Chains A and B, each alone.
Chain A
Amino acid sequence: MAIFKLEETKKAPSTINGKLRWILDNLVSTPVDVAFSLVILFLLYIIIPPFVEWAIINANFAGTTKADCTGDGACWVFIIHKIDFFIYGFYPEEEIYRINWIFGLLIAFLALFKYVGKTYTTKIAIFSLFPIIAYFLITGGSFGLVEVPTFKWGGLTLTLVISSIGIVTAMPIGIILAFGRQSRLPIIRSLSILYIEFIRGVPLITILFMGSVILPMFFPEGMTFDKLLRVLIVITLFQAAYVAEVIRGGLQAIPKGQYEAADSEGLSYWQKMLIIILPQAIKVSIPNLVGNAIGLFKDTTLVLIIGLFDLLTMVGLTSADSHWTGFETEGYVFVAIIFWVFCFSLSRYSKVLEDRLNTENK
């Protein structure tokens, strides 16, 4: 039998040992680990310094003509000179301010999203003003703005237009498809499944070809079908199938108890789905939806193959300029960085959302 006197809390043993311990444990704990570390250090050595030399140290940043690119390094002058092409495509120079307005408006809308309107419905209603305004700004032809036909749109602007419209319009269609897949009516159910599995089983490019070549055949000769519009329709239909699968996963993740509670409250099928089940399903699906959006953003590069001038196409186009030949590498690196920044930021944001959802659900 014993009672013990109360001990004091002591500080952990000296931190020098702690750090040394960490180095020992994590870097050099076994000979094999040391070997791996050395191999990786070597790889880093042959990759990073030459790249930094090319991209920064020997690179040329200032100047206006090809002659200013004297060194062995990257000719960023080329990029700076052509930056308008990369961002705005062939949009007329005098009208570029309109696109800048769209960017500015978007940032403003996003920043104020929190503070405007009380319920989510009001917020979304107000936010949907943005696409309407943006549409008029970019196409022109009304409100005293010069019309800019879609074949002049290009670069980052076009990539963003295709991705955002694709994602936004695919959502409602995807949700409908997801419901169709769960439907008890065999016809609707089979049609939905057929559609989804068909789209998911074929490459996007075949569907783009289908839209680009076959779709016009359904319309009378002479009636032009704007190329961009064709692409948007096709991409939306494509993306909707993937959204449907994500939402289906979300619907399945909802515990049965929710369905039962809604039923016991006497809600009709549609009330139950739209008010109780769907919002939860969407919330759970958000990380996967963002993943889908990132995928779509990368997939917009495929329009290069059917002749639209997205950001990636600009690399080839700008290097074709006879005054500036030979700088394709700079173009690819630049465009790669832009894509990487967008995709990486989106995926980080998705992680943040996921963590927030996980803590809410605990």
Chain B
Amino acid sequence: MGLWFMFTNLFDNIHARGIHTGFGFLGERAGFDISESPIAYNANSTFFDSFLVGIANTLYVSVVGIVFSTIIGVIVGVARLSKVFLVSKFALAYIEIFRNIPLLLQILFWYNIVLASLPRPKQSIQLGLDMILNNRGFSVPRPILEDGFGLVIISFFVAIGLVIYLSKKANEKFEKTGKSTFLLPWNILILIAIPFIVYLILGSPLSFDIPELKGFNYVGGMTYTPEFLALAFALSIYQATFTAEAVRSGIEAVDFGQKEASADLGLSSYQSLKLVVLPQAIRVAMPPIISQFLNVVKNSSLAAAIGYPELVTIFSGTALNQTGQAIEIVLMTMSVYLVISLIISIVLNYVNKKMEIKGR
């Protein structure tokens, strides 16, 4: 009875406000601009295009956040267990401070306080290599790929293939003779030298669009806006605290007896870490670390507070205001996150299955 009441109201309201239903609006002209976008977009693009831009921006900032929060998290997590007093206490302070301050506050702080206090373009901070920092953002030279660069990329893959081949050969040698070869410096050399040589041979098919000061602003190059930077910094720093804790519990979960047994067998600290401790630690730490990835994606939605044009801001914000078709829009937005969440779940299950310690 109550549900019926609610639904009739719903239809009345929609009718009264002249809001259309259905997904037809997606084909209409959006009529608004988006400040940054990895794909071409202007006010004449459709609402569906704006939806895509939103997804693209969400993924862009999320990937950056995931990568950096994982790197920072692993370093801090390992540091937390260091014997060196200062190192472990510093890591502890980092975790406790940034974990207990709301993410939104951190985002606002970076945006309104730190980035806003950067100088105006005319007085930008020069970071060398034509990298500029000012209150409009962080500008770097944009690589322009000219003809022939494709070959450079191919040569890079050839180099990767060579590295894999050499590693295989070294493994075989280890199996047969027990001697291990330290390949790392060679691998690095190959990965750098081969593409670089091809690059030179082809006459350096790479130029840069350097940001230049024209009037009041820098033109050219690639600019990372303050909105993007604030979101990326805050996400990375905040989520890293959770990753660090996951890494720490992973390592601590490894029974102390394992280290004793490794020592007794004659393994060095490094060998023990690599062959015994870390494999077991990763199994414990992986699931929480991967679920942190989902949290980064969900938390990117806080961009709405500072206007970074990701999915929620563009679509559930501006587009919704323009068309009033709240139900369709919110449903579409949520579906995107659900799909991402599903993908991450599948990845998690796959990783878990592969790493299972048999018999448990």
A and B touch in their complex, CB below 8 angstroms: yes
Q: How far is the CB of B189 from chain A (nearest CB, A)?
A: 25
Q: Name the B residues within 8 Å of A344 (CB-CB).
A: 96, 100
Residues of B within 8 A of A316 (CB): 108
Q: Are A221 and B302 in contact (CB under 8 A)?
A: no
A1-33: which residues lie under 8 A (CB-CB) from chain B? 25-27, 29, 33
Q: Counting CB contacts under 8 A, is A187 at the interface? A: no
Chain A nearest CB, measured from B215 CB (Å): 28
The answer for the CA separation of A305 and B299 in the assembled complex, in Å, is 13
Alpha-carbon distance between A335 and B112 when the two chains are bound, in angstroms = 14
Give A333's nearest chain B residue, CB to CB: B109
CB distance from A202 to the nearest CB of B (A): 5
Most chain B beta-carbon neighbours within 10 Å: one of A44, A213, A315, A335: A213
- In the bound complex, residues from chain B placing their C-beta under 8 Å from that of A299 are 102
The residue from A206, A219, A347 contacting B301, defined by CB atoms under 8 A apart: A206
User: Which chain A positions have C-beta within 8 A of B90?
Assistant: 40, 43-44
By a CB distance below 8 angstroms, the chain A residues around B312 are 203, 205-206, 209
Bitwise interface map of B from 289 to 324 toward A, beta carbon under 8 Å scored 1, else 0: 000001000111110110000001000100010000
In the complex, A348→B128 CA distance in Å? 45
Are B326 and A217 touching (Cβ within 8 A)?
A: yes
- In angstroms, Cα B341 to Cα A197, docked, is 9
Count of chain A to chain B residue pairs whose CB atoms are closer than 8 Å in the complex: 138
- B337 engages A221 (CB within 8 Å): no
Cross-chain contact B96 with A27 (CB below 8 angstroms): no
A219 touches B100 (CB 8 A): no
Give the distance in Å from the alpha carbon of A103 to the alpha carbon of B85 in the complex.
41
CB contact list, A284-313 vs B, under 8 A: 294, 298-299, 301-302, 304-305, 312
8 A Cβ contacts from B311-356 to A: 312, 316, 320, 326-327, 330, 333-334, 337-338, 340-342
A202 x B109 contact (CB < 8 A): no
Query: Known contacts A332-B113, A336-B105: does B316 contact A206 (CB below 8 Å)?
Result: yes
**Contact A205 B304, CB 8 Å, known A218-B6, A312-B102:** yes
User: Within 8 Å of chain B (Cβ to Cβ): is A190?
Assistant: no
Q: How far is the CA of A209 from the CA of B333 in the complex (A)?
A: 11
Separation in Å of the B184 CB from the closest CB of chain A? 19
B204-237, CB < 8 A from A: none
Among B96, B99, B108, B337, max chain A CB count under 10 A is at B108
A340 to B95, CA, bound (A): 12
B166 at interface (Cβ–Cβ under 8 A)? no
Query: In the docked arrangement, what's the CA distance between A298 and B241, Å?
Result: 15
Q: Known contacts A201-B342, A304-B305, A329-B113; is A312 also within 8 Å of B85 by CB?
A: no
Is B180 an interface residue, CB under 8 A from the partner? no
A152 at the interface (CB under 8 A from B): no
Known contacts: A41-B86, A339-B101. The answer to whether A206 contacts B9 by CB under 8 A is no
| Bound CA span A152–B341, Å | 38
> With A26-B85, A206-B337, A217-B326 given, is the CB distance from A298 to B102 under 8 Å?
yes
A312/B84 contact (C-beta < 8 A), A202-B338, A203-B337 known: no
Cβ-defined contact, B83 with A33, below 8 A: yes
Say yes or no: B9 contacts A218, CB within 8 Å. Answer: yes
- Complex: chain A residue closest to B79, CB-CB: A36
Within the complex, which residue of B14, B101, B112 is in contact with A217, where a contact is CB–CB below 8 Å?
A: B14
Is chain A's interface secondary structure helix, strand, loop, or mixed overall? Answer: helix
Chain B residues positioned under 8 Å from A315 (CB to CB): 108
Decide if A328 is an interface residue (CB 8 Å cutoff).
yes
Q: How far is B306's CA from A139's CA once the two chains are assembled, in angstroms?
A: 33
- Asked if residues B101 and A302 are in contact (CB atoms below 8 Å), the reply is no
Asked if B7 is an interface residue, CB under 8 A from chain A, the answer is: yes
CB-contact partner of B102 in A27, A197, A202, A339, under 8 A: A339
User: Which one of B12, B84, B97, B302 contacts A27 once the chains associate, using CB atoms below 8 Å?
Assistant: B84
Q: What CA separation (Å) do A250 and B280 show in the bound complex?
A: 25
Chain B window 10-25, contacts with chain A (Cβ cutoff 8 Å), 1 for yes, 0 for no: 1011101000000000
Chain B residues lying within 8 Å of A328, measured Cβ to Cβ, are 112-113
Contact A36 B113 (CB under 8 A): no
Q: Mark A322-362, 1 if CB is under 8 A from B, else 0.
A: 00000011001001100110011001000000000000000
- Chain B residues contacting A43 (CB-CB under 8 Å) are 90
Does B87 make an interface contact (CB < 8 A)? yes
Chain A residues near B52 (CB, 8 Å)?
none
Within 8 A of A (CB), among B100-116: 100-105, 108-109, 112-113
Of A209, A312, A340, which is within 8 A of B104 by CB? Answer: A312
With A312-B108, A340-B100 already in contact, the answer to whether A220 and B9 are too (CB < 8 A) is: yes
Whether A198 lies near B84 (C-beta < 8 A) is: no
Find chain B residues with CB under 8 A from A29 CB: 83-84
Q: Which of B6, B305, B334 contacts A219 (CB under 8 A)?
A: B6
Q: Which residues of A contact B83 (CB under 8 A)?
A: 25-26, 29, 33
Q: 4 tightest A-B contacts by CB?
A: A201-B341, A343-B100, A203-B301, A298-B102
Q: Can you name 29 A-B pairs with beta carbons within 8 Å?
A: A26-B83, A26-B84, A36-B86, A40-B86, A41-B86, A197-B341, A201-B340, A201-B341, A202-B334, A202-B341, A206-B316, A206-B330, A209-B316, A209-B330, A210-B330, A217-B326, A218-B7, A219-B9, A221-B13, A294-B100, A301-B102, A301-B105, A305-B304, A305-B305, A312-B104, A339-B100, A339-B102, A343-B101, A347-B100
- For the A-B complex with A210-B334, A305-B305, A339-B102 known, give 7 more contacts whose Cβ atoms are closer than 8 Å: A26-B83, A203-B298, A206-B330, A206-B333, A217-B9, A298-B100, A332-B109
